[in-house]
Structure 1
């Protein structure tokens, strides 16, 4: 039998049960990994925070996509129909400590540091012997449940918290980070002034620009059905069906929600763009900052793209300590691309786009250095 890890928080486990316990789900970037899961495979359900095993579910379908509402905090659109084999309330869950010496990744005398790496991302395939052992204990507990107190704060932790490692001063440190769910425009995708561009127009033109320059391009899956000038975002040539990176789950959760990304033929990120049409400038800068925090060794250009009048807001936000107190301050690598200058340059280039290099945007963008204001 093939076993897969399925992570839940106390809240998402309760929502899953209230929805009928018929469908489990994973994040968008797990689509490729989920292809290996077949009907008959078993999901072993682990409750993060309280560190307990609470269930086993048999897959009754292959992967599919759905945004049907089950969970409040996230969609988890990579779905599988399931049949519960074991479902326990958190107070009857089996503590991880009970498996010491019984699992290949939790040997006798082992510590949480040893086994926690096997519980960071789902779906993750487990060895048959490990899966058999966990399933047997769950079945035994179902027959003879044991009630244990549950820490309510840990039970209610967010699904958007990740335990990961960050590099500081050449050292790796353990850290807990949060990746907010992608925001949507506060207003419909309409021009902010008569005849002005929309969010979708700018997004489409940046994707098309990268494609014409011979780059691979990426846009969030949720935006691909939107259209501009009769063409769908998802129809742009060289648009990737899945992320080509080997990033960890945290970085993938950031990258997959960035409005536009250009990739080289070797699958390295060339440039990333956040189009802030009506959403907060701060949220776009924060996503860029998150990306380079998680991947400090990548060398790319970042651009916040917005209506001309938002440059004033950009200048107020980018000097914040969270962006400025970095080894490389965000303002040195993230420029502001005004709608008017971007559209004017694209209209001027027209059929010549395939002959230009991505670096030409550095001459179009506004790079703001707060130190210049102090010297003035």
Structure 2
């Protein structure tokens, strides 16, 4: 389709510098995986694209604003892209040969673009001690990572200006930050050839899954039940009907009052027995009428594998079922969730690679969503702002 412009004018009430009257520059994070870094580097570098779920925030960005480029897996800052115009919607493949998901686009002008070994690690002291979201934290923690988990997160004015100055100087000085063995492992790309496209996959180093007979510690089991209850409560407040596996109901109902009377006694679905048995074991389902809207698996165990496998079983049995799938897990297991979702075996599902329609919800983001005052007036699409995709 031809490009569809979302806006093309600067509003008269855009913020300006009080002294000079010049339009203030806003800085936004532009996340790149190693794969999209290489794809952008091979392109003309004049278009930066984002997923459809970024459409609303994209409309706040104006010409003159700056995308500060961050490389995931290596945690490095490496570029500055000045916005020339946009956003607009265009589904013509640019970054990927087929099924390019980055359709919310801007025309940009690269002012800094560094090779990977010249990118500045966020853990370098010159960076860590200056950024507002890292300087007060001990290294080794993960609290800071929330800032760099999604594109188009706006940086504070001081953080943005600091990074712009730092990267501009690095483009001149060219200091090297060598790639170590761990970095090389993070950069290693495995692919699987599907009939329709080539898919990037991950091969987890620890392939041990918890056996069905292995006992989960009681404290972990309780936390898992609490998260099931929270997911159920959020859905019920949005007007959804809720399904909880029968074996979990006693524990969940001790945490969730079910004041809306949303809990279903049976599923109003018409599938074969094998499919129904699979569906009935999923930790939480949100339903509207006779349709499942979203499915959630809470993965509190180290392996984070059993729930993902159940999701894969479901889409293997019913590839035409249009359900949004979510893995709910602590932030400490985020990377493990993404590794498992991107296993080679899950890339060959008839519906398409599991990573394209199964997302991650952290406990922290779920708590934030639960704290929203007007859940009863929201639709399930609000989850788009809280979920994370396996890039």
Give the TM interval when normalised to the shorter protein: 0.3 to 0.5
Query: Which has the larger Rg?
Result: 1
Taking structure 1 as the reference length, the TM-score comes to 0.46
